[in-house]
Amino acid sequence: MSISKKIFGKLKDGREVESWTLKGTGGMVMEVITLGGIVRTIYAPNSQGNLDDVVLGYDTVKEYEEDAFFMGVTAGRVAGRIAFGKLSFEGREINLPMNEGPNHLHGGSQGLNSCLWQAKPRGENNGSISLELHYSSPDGESGYPGEVEFRVIYTLTPDNEFIFETEAKVSEITPINLTHHSYFNLSGAGSGSIKEHELQINSGLVFKCDESMTLLDELIPVDGKASDFRSPALIGSRLNSLWQEHGDMYWIDHSTELKPIAKLFDSVSGRMLEVESTNHCLQAYFSSSLKDVTGKGGAVYPKFGAICLECHGYPQSAGLKGFGEILAFPEKPQYHKTIYRFK
């Protein structure tokens, strides 16, 4: 078990981006860079114990600065899509910049994914090793009200779990909704599509959206639809029938307790990924926008070359009853936890 640091590169403005490598006792190795809190690599053992990098990414800072796919980032202040960039809460309305058609997506064009975080090791705890990242967001950044102190903790456990914890301390009531945005391919990054991966999602309800992927604040059952993954199903058998081949946002429940969300299995490598979270929703995204994107080591990432399993709240639930809560309050820091368990 170890944690080490090196310089990954420099931003356009000359600031240095650090790379931190965590090696766990269970065999996993993970690299995190301070630009965007990005998880650049996750080496996980297959059924024979051999390590492969199972997340998509890039080799240089420049590629991450120009990335349009949010690869591996901590997304926010509010992850997901906000229709027309409008949120109403506590008697006020905020107007956020739209960066994806009629939607404000993943915190906008200057979201947390484009910020430089400060990192420090937290050391060992019961055989686990952790890295803490911190970012101070000023009032008005990306259109959001209030100052926010963000803290994100990345942990590798002896059971080959990657734990993603977030905390937000706010100066005033404001919406906060963070998620981790890795692109997973359990056969290995750049090994082709995930059509032969088997997926299970513990939900029978998805949020309705229109042709622009704008959320319509309505839940619909998955019965008889391609989005029904309550029983394990091959991803390739459903892709052509999914709305815009994108993937839906699933409603899990109102609980903020840690609960099972999804399972992903790859028969080629024998790897299974189990996901648990305290969040209310899961956005499944089948990387339908990837079109032969060049990534790490010159590998080419095709359409459907990975899946994102984004655990977060409903992005429009600030002041909207029935879909959980994303508002953070000065008297109580917002905290969430997601576990990605490799088996």
Listed in sequence order, the residues at least 6 apart from 207 whose beta carbon sits closer than 8 Å to its beta carbon are: 215, 216, 217, 218, 219, 220, 248, 249, 250, 251, 281, 314
- Per the DSSP assignment, residues forming a β-bridge with 169 are 149
Cα distances (angstroms) measured from residue 275 to each of 187, 262, 281, 284, 309: 17, 5, 12, 12, 8
Q: DSSP letters of 280-299? A: SEEEEE--TT--SEE-GGG-
Nearest to 247 by CA among 201, 216, 180, 186: 201
Cα-atom radius of gyration of the chain, to the nearest Å?
A: 19
Is 161 an annotated catalytic residue? no
Token pair belonging to 207: 């949020």
Is 310 an annotated catalytic residue? yes
Antiparallel, parallel or unpaired: β 308-312 and 73-75: unpaired
Q: Per the residue annotation, which of 161, 310, 312, 325 is the catalytic one?
A: 310
Q: Find the largest Cα–Cα distance for the chain.
A: 57
Cβ proximity of 76 and 111 under 8 Å: yes
Q: Per the residue annotation, which of 104, 181, 197, 336 is the catalytic one?
A: 181
Residue 330 has a CB neighbour count (10 Å cut-off) of: 12
Q: Is 243 helix (H, G, I), strand (E, B) or coil?
A: helix
Which residues are part of the catalytic machinery?
A: 181, 310
